[in-house]
Amino acid sequence: MKIAILGFGTIGSGIYDIIANGDTRMRVTAIFIRPTHPATMPEMTTDLDAILNDPTIDVIVETMGGLHPAHDYILQALQHGKHVVTANKAVVAKYLPEFTAVAAQHHVQFYFEATTGGGIPWIRNLERAARIDQIDTIEGIFNGTSNYILDQMQRAHLDFDPVLLAAKDMGYAEADPSADIDGEDVVNKLKISAALAYNMAPPRDVPTFGIRNVSKADIDFFASQHQVLRLIGKSKRDGDHYSMVVEPRLYSETALAANTFENFNLIRLHGQTIGDLQFYGQGAGKYPTANAIVQDLYDILENAPHLDRSFDQPLHFDANLNVTDYVLRADPMTFAMFNDRETEIVNDRLVIKQIPTGDMHKLMRGVLAIDADAFMATIGDSELAAKDVLHQQDQEVIG
């Protein structure tokens, strides 16, 4: 099987290394690079058309990232009768139904294991579960960068900025880390997972709150309550309604999520007959992600088809499907926004009881308009989270 790689950064070079030192049935014969990239290997070319029109190339691996030109390149490859494998979560989250339909029209495969969970075989096992079960919950730590930051802030007692700098130095965070720390990376992975689990096209907008504003004082306070903070993506289905949310969540210090350290991921699903399945492993990095790409290449080589999805289930997105408690650290003048809710003050923070997720995220936008450094985290509504948290003797009920 002859393979072309589009892009030769960290992931692209990792794929090349694994194939070059592995199964002789696979060979990289072309590497597409931008004109500004020096051609340092004989396989490198700036001529995409030559790759698309080469009848000997069976598979195109897209590792360029971003929406454009990746969207056009993937479509062109499928339309030229090439199988496509990608690690590009942003483009898959937005165009998965389109890519799948075009691949079927041209009798080729479109695989994307590496988009979600790095080296964890999450997509493949989610597909296997969905063949039999109705999946009703997806939840977990989907982003290694944010997990590394929160873990180091807690265990090494560090502030946010120096940990973020360390994450950049170690290659966990990009020069612009916004997608990781603001939750957009998790949104894309959650959209892909939910689309497969529920056989539907994901919503355009997902309630999202990241970790950009978390402080050492927040982490220390949660630790004093025997709680650990993690950035979590969660989707839940109830009949023909489903929810999706990305937000910081508190876990008991003995929970599995609380003990998922460094840049590791922990993702779970729940199905009606299989119950809970949890997957743990490297969520990012050169070789874990490249490994997932090569696993997809093996599936193509060995004609091992993946789950066939039409993404046409008529489900209704409901941001308020979940009702839970939140803790808010903000300017006290913002607390009045929650006067119609049951609340209590704990160590200058406001705990809001049993508020729908969508409502809380809307109110949080108003809080941020007054206090741009405000931070919130959800407390309950998780099978892995502690049910009794943030209890102190000096609580004051104000709602």
> Which of 234, 311, 242 is closest to 269 using CA atoms?
234
pLDDT at 41 over 70: yes
Task: Read off the pLDDT of each residue in 198-215 and give the average, rounded to a whole number.
Answer: 96
SS3 233: strand
Q: Is the pTM of this model over 0.75?
A: yes
Task: Read off the pLDDT of each residue in 177-203 and give the average, rounded to a whole number.
Answer: 96
Residue range 57-90, pLDDT digits in tens: 999 999 999 999 999 999 999 999 999 999 999 9
* DSSP secondary structure of 331-398: -GGGGGGGTTS-EEEETTEEEEEEEEHHHHHHHHHHHHHH-TT-EEEE-SS-TTS-SS----TT-EE-
SS3 97: helix
Q: Which of the pair, 358 or 393, is modelled with greater confidence?
A: 358
Rg over CA atoms, the chain = 22
Q: Look-up: residue for tokens 């504003």?
A: 213
Q: Which pLDDT value is given to residue 395?
A: 42
Tell me the average pLDDT of the chain: 93
SS3 12: helix
Catalytic position from the list 82, 89, 94, 189: 189
Distance CA 4, CA 62 (A): 9
Task: Read off the pLDDT of each residue in 15-32 and give the average, rounded to a whole number.
Answer: 97
Q: Which pLDDT value is given to residue 381?
A: 52
pLDDT at 363 over 80: yes
Task: Read off the pLDDT of each residue in 378-398 and give the average, rounded to a whole number.
Answer: 48
Do residues 267 and 140 make contact, with C-beta atoms less than 8 angstroms apart?
A: yes
Q: Which pLDDT value is given to residue 387?
A: 38
| The two three-digit tokens of residue 48, written as one number | 């995409």
Residue range 228-282, pLDDT digits in tens: 999 999 999 999 999 999 999 999 999 999 999 999 999 999 999 999 999 999 8
Q: Which pLDDT value is given to residue 388?
A: 44
Q: Which pLDDT value is given to residue 170?
A: 85
SS3 266: strand
What is the dihedral sign for C-alpha 225, 227, 178, 190?
A: negative
Q: Which pLDDT value is given to residue 172?
A: 82
**189 an active-site residue?**
yes
Could you list the beta-strand ranges (E) of 80-187: 83-86, 110-111, 135-141
Cβ count within 10 A of residue 300: 21
